[in-house]
Amino acid sequence: MRVDLLRTEPTARLPLRWGTYRGRYLAGLVLIIGGLVGLQASSTTFLYPIVTGLTLHTVGWWIMPAAGWRRNLVVFPCGVQVCLLLAGPQSMWTLVIPYLAWLLVRHRPITSYVTVLFVIANGVIMVQLSSEYAMMLPALAISGVVVVTSAWIARQIAGIRRIPSILQEDHR
pLDDT 10s digits, 134-164:
788 888 889 999 999 999 999 888 876 544 4
In angstroms, the CA 30 to CA 17 distance is 20
Residue 163 is given by DSSP the state P
Cα angle 98, 99, 100 (rounded to 5 degrees) comes to: 90
pTM, whole model, 2 decimals? 0.80
Cα angle 91, 51, 127 (rounded to 5 degrees) comes to: 10
For 78-119, the pLDDT digits (tens) are 989 988 888 888 888 999 999 999 999 988 889 999 999 999
Query: At residue 26, does pLDDT exceed 60?
Result: yes
**pLDDT score recorded for residue 167:** 40
Bin 107: left if φ > 0, else alpha if -120 < ψ < 50, else beta: left
